Chain A
Amino acid sequence: MSEESERSPNPGAPGTSRRDFLTQIGGGACAVAGVGSLVVTLDYLKPKVLFEPPTVFRAGSAVDYPEGTVRFNREQRAYVIGGGGGVFALSAVCTHLGCITRYLSDEKAIACPCHGSRFDLEGNVVHGPAPRPLPWLEVTADAAGNLVVDSSIIIPHGKVTRA
Chain B
Amino acid sequence: MSPSPELHVVESTDPLAVPRRVALVRPDTRPTVRRGDERYVMTFPHLIVREVILFQAVVIALSLAAIVFDAPLEGIANPIETPNPAKAPWYFLGLQELLHYFPPIVAGVLLPGLVVLLLAVIPYARINLTAGPLWASGGKRTALALAAVTAALFALFAVFGCWPIAVPTLLTAAAMFAARGGARGGRLRRALAQVTLPEWIMTWFVVIATLLTVIGTFFRGPGWAFVWPWSGAI
Contact = CB atoms under 8 A, between A and B. Distances in A.
B80 A100 contact: yes
Interface stretch (A20-28, A79-87, A108-116): A108-116
Contacts of B205: none
A131 B86 CA distance: 19
B104 interface: yes
B99 interface: yes
Contacts of B96: 115
B129 to A, nearest CB: 36
Interface string A119-143: 0000000000101000000000000
Interface residues of B, number: 19
B81 A100 contact: yes
Interface stretch (B11-19, B24-32, B180-188, B218-226): B218-226
A96 interface: yes
A111 B223 CA distance: 8
Interface-central residue, A96, A97, A129, A131, by most chain B CB under 10 Å: A129
Contacts of B224: 113-116
Interface string B59-102: 00000000000000000000011111110000000001001111
Interface residues of A, number: 16
B162 to A, nearest CB: 11
B222 A113 contact: yes
A114 B80 contact: no
B103 A114 contact: no
Nearest to A100: B82
B132 to A, nearest CB: 42
A116 to B, nearest CB: 4
B99 A97 contact: yes
A77 B80 CA distance: 7
A75 interface: yes
Nearest to B100: A115
A116 B82 contact: no
B80 A75 contact: yes
